[in-house]
Structure 1
Amino acid sequence: MSDCIEKTIELNAPIARVWRALTDHEAFGTWFRVKLDGPFVPGEISRGRITYPGYEHVVWEAKIVSMDEPRLFSFTWHPYAVDPEVDYSKETPTLVEFHLRPEGTGTHLSVTESGFDAIPSHRRAEAFRMNDGGWAEQMKNIKAHIGG
């Protein structure tokens, strides 16, 4: 198993539009399916509720690491932390990085999630599998959101 998930997509939208979809908490919430409590602020925790059917009980929580407009947006979080009875805070979080670059008249977007080797072995494979599929779905979601 790899330590890293990588997904890429070409979006038929200017980089500024993609940046907004990623970093505006309301736009992010629309395509990611999470109702966030407030704006993203580097160094601070962002929280909200997942709105994806079947996961409404899950609190979304991430620490915003970087907002280097318009090239890099990153955060750390606990992957596939869906059991409300488990305290995931003792685990080392993974790092999620969105890299953007202009590509012709559109934008090349890549998402990388790394650090799975630090996830406890009893849940590492499932967290990796679920997030790998999740990121594939989220790339479709952002494309539909942007319309490109």
Structure 2
Amino acid sequence: MRRLLLAALLSLAPLAATAAESGIELTAQIKAPLADVWQAWTTNEGISGFFAPEARVEARPGGPFEIYMNPYAAAGLKGADDMRVLAVEPQKLLSFTWNAPPHLPQARQQRTVVILRFAAEADGTRLSLSHLGWGSDGEWPKARAYFEKAWPNVLANLQKRFETGKPHDWTEWRAQLQRYQAAEAAKQAEAGKTQP
């Protein structure tokens, strides 16, 4: 009987090995109390302090977790539009859906999952980020490569926010975006004048 059980378990080992999810895994030490780091991820004001100029976040299962990298863009193209909180364990765990950036429309139609784990430490907070649910075909490799570069920047911005004691100032970013949009509108208007 033991041999039969052992043989059955060994036959499952290759299946378990191939089913492992390969995700983006990062850890950051934040020099701030756990409650402050939690608030940075779970409030609109907190998100705008390091991540993006605007957000709509409600830290409850099913609540919105919308991060607007470009709040002036059309609906559906602002950033993490229509994302949802999946699970909350206050000051321990936050998970939410995530999408690809607008320049990858095929991958953007689908969702991945981000899991944040928070732990108090003597010198602040340890934050662990896992980004899971990657496909392998089409635009998936490009989407993953994008976030392999983007998430370290987000975590560095979070560290900087607490090291300086100041939330990110989006004033210059907004001014640059408005200048760009005005230039694009002028180009479109000029192109409209030259067409018969």
| Shorter-chain TM-score tier | 0.7 to 0.9
Deviations 1:33-84 (A, max 9, x none): 1412454442133335314xxx964322211112211001110122x23139
Specify which of 142, 157, 160 is matched with residue 126 of structure 1.
Answer: 142
Q: Give the TM-score, by structure 1 length.
A: 0.80
Alignment match, 2:177: none
Q: Give the TM-score, by structure 2 length.
A: 0.62
The aligned runs of 1:1-148 (5 Å cut-off) are 3-37=22-56, 39-51=58-70, 57=73, 58-59=77-78, 60-61=80-81, 62-78=83-99, 80-83=100-103, 88-89=108-109, 91=110, 93-117=111-135, 121-147=137-163
Matched to 2:103, the amino acid is D
Deviations 1:104-143 (A, max 9, x none): 13111111100113x6x11111101000100010010111
Change beyond 3 A, Cα 1:34–1:122: farther
Unaligned runs of 5+ in 1: none
Matched to 1:33, the amino acid is A
| Matched-pair contact (CA < 8 Å) for 2:107–2:140 | no
Which protein is bigger by CA-based radius of gyration?
2
Matched to 1:131, the amino acid is F
How far, CA to CA, are the matches of 2:31 and 2:38 in structure 1?
13
Relative to total residues, which structure has the larger helix share, 1 or 2? 2
Q: Percent identity?
A: 22
| Matched-pair contact (CA < 8 Å) for 1:21–1:146 | no
Unaligned runs of 5+ in 2: 1-20, 165-196
Give runs of ≥4 in structure 1 deviating > 6 Å: none
Higher relative contact order (CA 8 A, sep 6+): 1
| Matched-pair contact (CA < 8 Å) for 1:100–1:108 | yes
Relative to total residues, which structure has the larger strand share, 1 or 2? 1
